[in-house]
């Protein structure tokens, strides 16, 4: 295993220590339980926006804490869900009195732990809602997931909801917005190589010298198909068509019912993309793919969107939701409207994303 | 060879096409000869700041074109110098009447071609100066270099001089500033894995499963020593001490003498770091190293600087001068003063670096 680390067990702790030293003006770190939070938190009257998940996907989520994005992020060990304790303590630290929104990627451990954290907060009188991100069209169920996995749309939801929280959206309106981003965003990824979890010390999966995995998950979970390596234009087309031609996707998720004061099943339907839609196109590196290759993917994606009648009105290209050193990429398309465009363009100042601030 | 590309020969062209589609508000692309230039160029009365070099180091240099940084960048084929033709045409495109500054990394081909381009421009009546970046303390001469190689300090020089050009520095003052950044900046890198040049199709060099190369160049040129893999704290210490304890470095470079109207040898001396110095600390990924590992390097670097009496007043952490998918890192320390700090903090809006703009 070739990594720039000391002991595998110390990776997350030492990463957080480095972040604390590097960005004291942006974030503070709380240890045991571990979380990253805005240096200027709590912000009175603002909904506290929190996400979290296993480490190894950097800059997500800790790199998205700051003005215009998250108030706090809870990193678990690599590819391991954070605990309810982390999530609840983070919420109490950034609570500005307007409630807490948890953005939860759809992995069984994350979903369960964020629900437990929400229950802990409610017992202390803090209003909290959990909104799920489940945008990966590659597979229905997966290794750690019932239903679709939460991937690239998470980054976009954190940016857009972060801007809205900054603007004064209340908890109800912010929850509705986050749900809207989720149902309008779709993603799919692929890998050329496996990642290596530090504690495991060996590749998560084996791929032959001329093989790739289409539909990979961000923890190296199996995708749709293992196949021979192809030119990137063909790879881009496979990912893009799976996304664009995906049909209405219906499933039931759990959200908190503030009227009945209980968890309730909510039916969600992702509307398919339609000719004439405006979209944000997000081309993401899985971590080990160099910058030179990403515009080549975007070039083909642009052509496909044009052919399908989708207009790319915004884009994001880079390594934002990664899988350690995995070589590969993912594509996310999010249907945009005026509200989403305005929020996307709003100032943001985090480690991983910053503009106009 | 596992890459997200189509044909190796088309990588640079298709990358540029993707950039043109993705960032029309920031940059334009000129083909044959290839260069990236500011969408709002030329800017009347501003010195045109231009750099360039082989592709494969993205986001450098094309990703640094825009407000507050470069006016144009000339990408060669992967790890291959651009031609004098590219450099001269780029200069004519962005010439705002106040002259051109070429920032040149010290590689034999780049130095020669930028000198030829400068001569071509002068024949057309355009004032131009070439300032060399030679900051790599690892080796004296190298595969493609007489003297020290130009590496991480290039990124910092492009940011700082870009801000100064925006502020109205004239060609003489901007040249002096760029030279000052170069002599006060020192870098060193290391690799865990080789990169693969697309046209070659195989690793540039071989490293054993438990080996690393200390002092690597950004094209995979040999460094100081190949040795067994060590914990990152030890690696960071090796790089940092080579930089911090480097003695005064004296060499002769060629610059244009505007009085005598001829190329002249100029003796430069890099002053060693001293207790009490303020520095910018730049931790750079070679491309394939994931984000989670970089703060761990910064954490140790911070401790070493503190112990050596250097105060880190600014930092930059990420993949900015890369070597395709190489896993590894480099460290750059730049001695700062009030002028450099103010210019570093100034607004910038490029693909690769953007803040407050």
Residues 6+ apart with CB under 8 A from B11: A292, A296, B5, B55, B78, B198
- Whether A233 and A292 share a structural domain: yes
Is residue A12 assigned to a domain? no
Is the residue at B176 inside a domain?
yes
Annotated catalytic residues of B are 57, 219
**Interchain proximity B295–A355, CB inside 8 Å:** no
Across the interface, of B212, B296, B327, the residue whose CB is closest to A325 is B327
Structural domain contains residue A181: yes
DSSP H stretches of helix in B105-196 = 108-123, 153-167, 171-184
My answer on whether B156 and B76 are in the same domain is: yes
Q: Which residue has the tokens 């093989």?
A: A211
Residue in chain B lying closest to A280 (CA): B22
The first and second tokens of residue A80, run together, are: 């391991």
CB contact under 8 A, B299 and A14: yes
Strand partners, B80: none
- Output A145 or B199, whichever has higher pLDDT: B199
Q: Give every CB contact of residue B125 below 8 A, 6+ residues apart in sequence.
A: none
CA distance B233 to A114: 35
pLDDT of A356: 76
Residues A69 and A177 in one domain: yes
Do A293 and B5 count as a contact with CB atoms less than 8 A apart?
yes
The alpha-carbon gap from A333 to the nearest alpha carbon of chain B, in Å, equals 14
Residue of A26, A220, A292 to mutate for B, most B C-beta atoms under 10 A:
A292
Torsion A191-A194-A199-A200 (CA) sign: positive
- Report the alpha-carbon distance of residue B262 to residue A338 in Å, rounded: 58
Residue A334 tokens, joined: 């999010």
Contact criterion met (CB < 8 Å) for B298 and A22: yes
Report chain B's C-alpha Rg in angstroms. 19
**In chain B, at which residue ranges do the beta strands (DSSP E only) sit?**
27-30, 35-38, 48-55, 72-78, 100-105, 128-133, 185-191, 211-214, 225-228, 249-257, 262-270, 278-285, 311-318, 328-335, 348-349, 354-355
Evaluate if residue A140 carries a pLDDT over 90.
no
Same domain, residue pair A208 and A297: yes
Tokens of B73: 């960048």
DSSP string, A72-112: EEEEEEETSPPPHHHHHHHHHHH--SS-EEEEEES-HHHHH
What is the per-residue pLDDT for B116? 98
Q: Based on the domain organization, do B255 and B296 belong to the same domain? A: no
Q: If you average pLDDT over residues A159-180, what whole number do you get? A: 98
**Residue numbers in B near A328 (CB within 8 A):** 4
Q: Which residue has the tokens 């390594």?
A: A319
Q: Say whether the peptide bond before residue A139 is cis (omega within 30 degrees of 0).
A: no
C-alpha to C-alpha distance for A17 and A23, rounded to whole angstroms: 10
A8-18 pLDDT tens trace: 999 999 999 99
Is there a contact between A18 and B294 if contact means CB atoms under 8 Å apart? yes
- Contact criterion met (CB < 8 Å) for B212 and A322: no
Averaged confidence pLDDT in chain A? 97
Chain B hits for A2, CB-CB cut-off 8 Å, are 192-193, 209, 212, 229, 327
CA distance B129 to chain A (A): 29
Interface touch B299/A18, C-beta < 8 Å: yes
Residue linked to tokens 């923890």: A219
What residues of chain A lie within 8 A of the CB of B238, using their CB? none
Q: What's the count of helices (H) and strands (E) in chain B, helices before strands?
A: 8, 16
Residue of B nearest to A12 (CA): B292
> A295 vs B3: CB contact, 8 Å cut-off?
no
Token readout for A317 is 């290209």
A5, A63, A296 ranked by CB distance to B18: nearest:
A296
Per-residue pLDDT tens for B47-104? 999 999 999 999 999 999 999 999 999 999 999 999 999 999 999 999 999 999 999 9
Question: How close is the nearest chain A Cα to the Cα of B266, in Å?
Answer: 36
pLDDT tens sequence across B309-347: 999 999 999 999 999 999 999 999 999 999 999 999 999
Residue A218 sits in a domain of what CATH number? 3.30.1180.20
- Average pLDDT, stretch B150-174? 98
CATH number at residue A348: 3.40.50.10440
Q: Active site includes A61?
A: no
Q: How far is CA A191 from CA A85, A186, A317, in A?
A: 33, 18, 17
| Pairing relationship of beta strands A185-191 and A211-214 according to DSSP bridges | antiparallel
- Where residue A357 falls among pLDDT bands split at 50, 70, 90? low
Give the strand order in the sheet containing A328-335.
A225-228, A211-214, A185-191, A328-335, A278-285, A311-318
Residue A94: other Cβ atoms inside 10 A: 23
A286: closest chain B residue by CA:
B290
Closest residue in chain A to residue B318, using alpha carbons only: A352
Among B78, B71, B144, which Cα is nearest to B105's? B144
In a domain, B324, yes or no: yes
Mark whether B192 and B332 lie in a shared domain.
yes
Whether residue B255 is found in the same domain as residue B218: no
In a domain, B348, yes or no: yes
One domain for residues B303 and B330: yes
Q: Exposure pattern of A174-211 as b/e (b: 16+ CB <10 Å)?
A: bbebbbbbbbbbbbbbbbbbbbbbbeeeeebeebeeee
Say whether A295 and B7 touch across the interface (CB within 8 A): no
Residues B219 and B312 in one domain: yes
- 3-state SS of chain B: helix, strand, coil percent to 5? 30, 30, 40
Point out the residue among B17, B287, B317 whose CB comes nearest to the CB of A299: B17
Its pTM stands at 0.97
A290 and B2 in contact by Cβ < 8 A? no
Whether B15 and A298 lie within 8 Å, measured CB to CB: no
> What's the pLDDT score for residue A25?
96
DSSP A35: E
CA–CA gap between residue A188 and residue A184 (Å, rounded) = 14
Is the CB of B11 less than 8 angstroms away from the CB of A329? no
Inside any domain, residue B7 = no
ipTM beyond 0.90? yes
Q: How far apart are CA B236 and CA B299, in angstroms?
A: 9
In a domain, A6, yes or no: no
Average the pLDDT over A264-282 and give the result: 98
d(C-alpha A113, C-alpha A53), whole Å:
10
B258/B306 same-domain check: no
At CA A324, angle to CA A233 and CA A227, rounded to 5?
40
Biggest CA pair distance of chain A: 56
Residue B281, CA distances (Å) to A66, A260, B185, B317, B353 in order:
22, 54, 10, 8, 16
B34 and B87 belong to one structural domain: yes
In this prediction, residue B142 has a pLDDT band, given cuts at 50, 70 and 90, of: confident
Rounded Cα gap, residues A339 and A308, in angstroms: 23
CB-nearest to A18 from B19, B231, B298 is B298
Mutate to test the interface with A, among B1, B4, B229 (most CBs of A within 10 A): B4
Q: Which of A28, A46, A159, A219 is catalytic?
A: A219
**Are B235 and B101 found together in one domain?**
no
The domain containing residue B57 runs over which residues? 21-185+248-269+338-355
Q: Under DSSP, is residue B94 helix (H, G, I), strand (E, B) or coil?
A: helix
Of B232, B325, B356, Cβ closest to residue A4: B232
Residue A14 lies in a domain: no
Tell me which chain B residues have a C-beta less than 8 angstroms from the C-beta of A302: 18, 21-22
Cβ-defined contact of A292 to B231 (cutoff 8 Å): no
Give the residue-averaged pLDDT of A294-314: 98
pLDDT averaged over every residue in chain B: 97
Give the residue from chain A lying closest to B63, CA to CA: A291
Q: What is the mean pLDDT of residues A201-214?
A: 95
Dihedral sign of CA atoms B3, B4, B7, B11 in order = negative
Question: Closest approach of chain B CAs to the CA of A288, in angstroms?
Answer: 4
Residue of A57, A61, A180, A335 marked catalytic: A57
Chain B residues whose beta carbon lies within 8 Å of the beta carbon of residue A229: 2
Q: Which positions in chain B touch A357 (Cβ < 8 Å)?
A: 355-356
Number of domains in chain A: 2
pLDDT of residue B357: 61
């Amino acid at each position: 295993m070739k990594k720039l680390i000391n002991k595998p067990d110390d990776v997350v702790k030492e990463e957080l220590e480095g972040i604390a030293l590097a960005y004291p003006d942006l974030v503070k770190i709380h240890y045991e339980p571990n979380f990253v939070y805005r240096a200027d938190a709590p912000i009175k009257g603002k909904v506290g926006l929190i996400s979290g998940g296993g480490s190894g996907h950097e800059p997500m989520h800790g790199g998205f804490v700051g003005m215009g994005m998250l108030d706090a992020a809870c990193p678990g060990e690599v590819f391991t869900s954070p605990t309810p304790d982390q999530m609840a303590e983070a919420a109490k630290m950034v609570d500005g009195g307007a409630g807490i929104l948890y953005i939860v990627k759809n992995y069984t451990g994350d979903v369960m732990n964020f629900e437990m954290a929400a229950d802990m907060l409610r017992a202390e009188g803090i209003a909290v809602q959990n909104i799920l991100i489940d945008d990966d069209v590659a597979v229905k169920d997966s290794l750690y997931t019932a239903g679709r996995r939460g991937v690239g749309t998470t980054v976009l939801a954190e940016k857009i909801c972060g801007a809205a929280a900054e603007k004064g959206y209340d908890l109800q309106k912010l929850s509705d917005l986050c749900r809207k981003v989720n149902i309008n965003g779709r993603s799919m990824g692929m890998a050329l190589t496996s990642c290596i979890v530090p504690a495991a010390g060996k590749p998560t999966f084996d791929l032959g010298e001329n093989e790739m995995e289409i539909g990979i998950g961000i923890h190296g979970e199996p995708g749709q198909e293992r196949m021979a390596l192809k030119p990137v234009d063909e790879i881009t087309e496979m990912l893009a068509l799976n996304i664009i031609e995906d049909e209405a996707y219906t499933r039931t998720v759990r959200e908190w019912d503030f009227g009945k004061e209980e968890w309730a099943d909510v039916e969600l339907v992702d509307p398919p993309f339609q000719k004439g839609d405006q979209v944000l196109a997000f081309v993401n590196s899985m971590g080990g793919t160099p910058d030179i290759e990403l515009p080549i993917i975007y070039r083909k994606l642009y052509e496909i969107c044009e052919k399908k009648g989708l207009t790319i009105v915004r884009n994001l290209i880079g390594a934002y939701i990664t899988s350690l050193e995995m070589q590969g990429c993912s594509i996310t398309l999010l249907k945009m409207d005026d509200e989403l465009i305005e929020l996307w363009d709003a100032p943001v100042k985090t480690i991983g994303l910053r503009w106009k601030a």
